[in-house]
Structure 1
Amino acid sequence: MSVNKRVLHVFSSFEVGGSQRRFATYISHTNTNCEHMVYAMDGCYDAAKLVQNSKLSIADNINITKGNTRQAIKQIKQYLKTETPDLLVTYNWGATEWVMANVFSKICPVIHVQDGFGEDEQNTEKLTRRLMRMFAYRQCNTVVVPSKTLERIARRNWFLPEGEVSYIPNGIDIDRFICPEDIGFARSIGIDPDKPVIGIVAALRPEKNVGRLIEAFSKVEDEIDGAQLVIVGSGIGTSAMKMLAERVCKPGRVIFAGNMENPEKLLPSFDVFALSSDTEQMPLSVIEAMACALPIVSTDVGDISHMVSGQNAPYISGNNAESLADNLIQMLGSHEVSIRIGAANQAKAKEQFSLKTMIDAYDSLFTHHGKLAQD
C-alpha cells in the first residue's frame, strides 16, 4: 500500500505575498499524493484562505525561540526528528535556520526556494548572509529560483553547481485573468471608469516603494486629465502611503483598495499596470497584469524587462519617480500603442507563464526528492 509523502513548508510569514500566493495556487491545483503542511514562524497564516481545497494543514504544534539562533536551531532539529517529514521546503532568508538545523543531522531532504531579497539587501547581499547562504544552500538537495537573475546570483555568489539550481518560472491560471471589466465593482471602490486608471497590486512593504509611484503619479495627474491611481494591497506602510498621497496628490485621485483575494475583478479596469519596487525577481502581479492584456510600466528590477513583450520593454526603465512618470505619461498618451502592447503581453503570458507548466515542475521536484522517493 502506498504511503502519502509528508511535505513541510516553512515560511517566515504566511502573509499574502508573492511566494505565499504562488504556493497557495500550487496547493490548490496539484494532484500529487502528498500531504502538505505549512509553518509560519511569525504565526501569520492569512494566505491559507487562498487555498481552494483541504490539501493543506497548519503545523501549529511548535514554538521556536525568537532572538536566539542557537536555541532555535536546537528546537527545530528536535521537531524534525519527532515529526519526521519526508521533505522539508524552506522559503527565503527567514527560514534559513531550518536549513541549518538539518545540515549536520540530515534528518530529511531539503529544497530551498529563494524568491529574492528584502529591503536591507536590495542593492547587494550582506556579507554574513551571503556566506551563510553559500554554506547552507549547498547542503540542500536543490535551490529553486523563479528568475534568471537569481539563477546567476546562486551560481556566482553562492557557488551552487548547475545541477543544484532549479529555475522554475512563476505561472498563473491565464484564463482566470481574461475577463471583462466589472464597471459596477470599479465604481463601488471609487473608480471613474471613464477616466484613465493606473493600478498596482502589491504588499505595502518598504521594498515595494509605493511612495515612489505616488510621487510619480503627482506628476502624471498634472499632464493626464482625470488620471487615477488605484493601490491594491496593504501592509505596514499603509498609513504612511495615505499621508503621502494626501500631501502630494489631488484629493480623491489616489484610491486605496486594500487586499483583494481576486485581483482579476479589478485588473480589467486598469489602463496601465505600474510597479515601483526597489527589488523584485519575477513578480506574479506582473504576469497577472500581462494575462489581463495590460501594458506594464515599472522600475528596471529583476526579470521584469525580460518578462514583458519586446514592445513593452522600453517602458521598464530607471529607478526613480521621474522616469516612472515619464513612461506612464507616454503610455497613457497613446491608447492605440497601449492596447497593442497589452495584447503582446497577453500572448507572451499564454506562451511562457502558464499554470500547468509551473505545477508540473513543482510536482516533479517534490515527487523526486524526499525520503520515500529515495527508499
Structure 2
Amino acid sequence: MRNLWRFHRLLRAERPDLLLTYAWGAVEWGLANRLPPVCRHLHFEDGFGPDEAVGRHFRRRIWFRRAALARPTEVIVPSRQLEWIALESWRLPRGRVRFIPNGIDCARFAVPPDGHALPSRRDGELLIGSVGTLRREKNFGRLVRAFAALPADPPARLVLIGDGPDRPALQALARDLGVAERVVFTGNMMNPERALGLLDVFAISSDTEQMPLSLLEAMAAGRAVVSTDVGDVKAMVTDENRRLVVPREDEAALTSALHRLLVDATLRRRLGNANRARAAREYDEGVMLATYDKLLEDFSRRVA
C-alpha cells in the first residue's frame, strides 16, 4: 500500500498525459492511477515469467490485474491466447483489450546466412534447429528425446541456439540417449539471422508460448516449422504447415513431424517459401510500428 500511495503522489505531481506500463512488474501503477484517475493508461502485456509460464496463474494475481487494469486502462496484447486470458480470466471489457501482433525486421532474416555460423555438415546430414533460452518452460528436453527417436536415415543433427540454466541437464540427457555427438549447443548468438537459413527444419518444443519471436524469425528466413501446439504458433505459420504443429505432450507425433520434413525436401522448400511470404505480409515490423503509431496518435487526440 505504501508503494501505491507513493506512485499516486508522483503521478499527481507530474500530471502525465499518458501512463504506459509493461507486464506484471509495472501493474501496480495501474492501481495507483485509480486513486482517483490522474491520466489515461495503456498497459502492454507480453506474457508471463517462469513462475506463471506453465499455466500457474495465481489467483491473487488474477484479482490484482482485474483491479489494476480496470477503467481508464486499455490493454495491448501480442497474442490471441493473451487476448483470451485478458477477456475470460481477468474479465476485462472487450472494448478495452486490443490485439497487436509482434513484428520483426523481415529483411534482416531474408539475407543469405553465414556458412560458418554453425559447425560444418557431414555428408548428407540435415540440420534441425531451435532458438531460445535453455530453461524449463521451453522444454528442450522434449525436442532432444524426439530427435533421439528419429530413424537413422536420413542422418540429422540437432542444433540448440541459446544458453540457460537447463544446459547441463540437456547435455546429460543427450549423453544418456546416445546422441551427444549429434546435438550441438552453440551458446548465445547475438545475430541468429546468420544461422537460421542454414537449418533444414526449425523446431519448437515449448510447454508454453505467446507469439514467439524466434518463430517469426525462422519464418522470415524461409524455414519449415515443427512445433508443439502452444500459444499462437498454429495461427502464425502458413496453412499447410499447421499439420506439423502437434499436441504438446505427444512426443511420438513430434518425432513423426520432424521425420516427415527430413525426408521431403520439396515439402520443406514449399513450406519455407510460404512461411517467408506470410511473415513479410503480416508480421513485418513496419506493419507493427504503423499500428502503434496510429494507436498513440489516437490517444494523443483524446488527451489533447
Give the corresponding residue for 1:175: 107
Change (3 A) 1:249 1:145: farther
Change (3 A) 1:184 1:278: same
Which residue identity lines up with residue 181 of structure 1 in the other structure? P
Q: For the residues of structure 2 that align with 1:167 and 1:92, how far apart are their CA atoms?
A: 15
Which residue identity lines up with residue 90 of structure 1 in the other structure? T
Shift of 1:340: 0.9
Give the corresponding residue for 2:33: 102
Give SS of 1:345's match: helix
The Cα RMSD (Å) is: 2.4
**Contact 1:174 1:355 survives alignment (8 Å):** yes
Map Cα deviations across residues 184-217 of structure 1 (whole Å, 9 max, x no partner): 2223xx6558521111111223211112112212
Q: Does 1:292 align with 2:221?
A: yes
**Contact 1:186 1:192 survives alignment (8 Å):** no
Q: For the residues of structure 2 that align with 1:155 and 1:251, how far apart are their CA atoms?
A: 45
Give the corresponding residue for 2:241: 312
Map Cα deviations across residues 129-171 of structure 1 (whole Å, 9 max, x no partner): 2222222222353101112222222222222223211110111
Question: Which region of structure 1 is more displaced relative to structure 2, 94-103 or 158-167?
Answer: 94-103
**Contact 1:193 1:269 survives alignment (8 Å):** no
Q: For the residues of structure 1 that align with 2:127 and 2:83, how far apart are their CA atoms?
A: 35
Question: Which region of structure 1 is more displaced relative to structure 2, 253-262 or 112-121?
Answer: 112-121
Shift of 1:292: 0.9
Residue 144 of structure 2, aligned match among 211, 214, 218: 214
Give SS of 2:239's match: coil
Aligned pairs for 1:17-32 (under 5 A) are none
Give SS of 2:278's match: helix
**Contact 1:112 1:140 survives alignment (8 Å):** no
Q: For the residues of structure 1 that align with 2:261 and 2:134, how far apart are their CA atoms?
A: 24
Map Cα deviations across residues 233-284 of structure 1 (whole Å, 9 max, x no partner): 2233233323323332423311112222221100011111101111112111
Aligned pairs for 1:195-344 (under 5 A) are 195-220=125-150, 222-320=151-249, 321-344=251-274
Q: For the residues of structure 1 that align with 2:90 and 2:211, how far apart are their CA atoms?
A: 20
**Contact 1:224 1:329 survives alignment (8 Å):** no
Q: For the residues of structure 2 that align with 1:326 and 1:138, how far apart are their CA atoms?
A: 46
Q: For the residues of structure 2 that align with 1:98 and 1:197, how far apart are their CA atoms?
A: 46
**Contact 1:290 1:342 survives alignment (8 Å):** yes
Residue 128 of structure 1, aligned match among 45, 60, 74: 60
Change (3 A) 1:225 1:333: closer
Give SS of 1:184's match: coil
Aligned residues: 302
**Contact 2:154 2:263 survives alignment (8 Å):** no
Aligned pairs for 1:64-213 (under 5 A) are 70-78=1-9, 80=11, 85-121=16-52, 122-123=54-55, 125-187=57-119, 192=122, 194-213=124-143
Task: Mark the runs of 5 or more structure 2 residues left unpaired by the alignment.
Answer: none
Change (3 A) 1:197 1:102: same
Give SS of 1:185's match: coil
Shift of 1:81: 5.2
Give the corresponding residue for 2:279: 349
Give the corresponding residue for 2:291: 361
Which residue identity lines up with residue 94 of structure 1 in the other structure? G
Give the corresponding residue for 1:44: none
* Alignment TM-score, normalising by the size of structure 1: 0.73
Shift of 1:116: 2.5
* Alignment TM-score, normalising by the size of structure 2: 0.89
Question: Which region of structure 1 is more displaced relative to structure 2, 355-364 or 155-164?
Answer: 155-164
Shift of 1:124: 5.8
Map Cα deviations across residues 69-96 of structure 1 (whole Å, 9 max, x no partner): x344345445545666543322222332
Q: For the residues of structure 2 that align with 1:250 and 1:241, how far apart are their CA atoms?
A: 11
Change (3 A) 1:74 1:182: same
Q: For the residues of structure 1 that align with 2:6 and 2:134, how far apart are their CA atoms?
A: 32
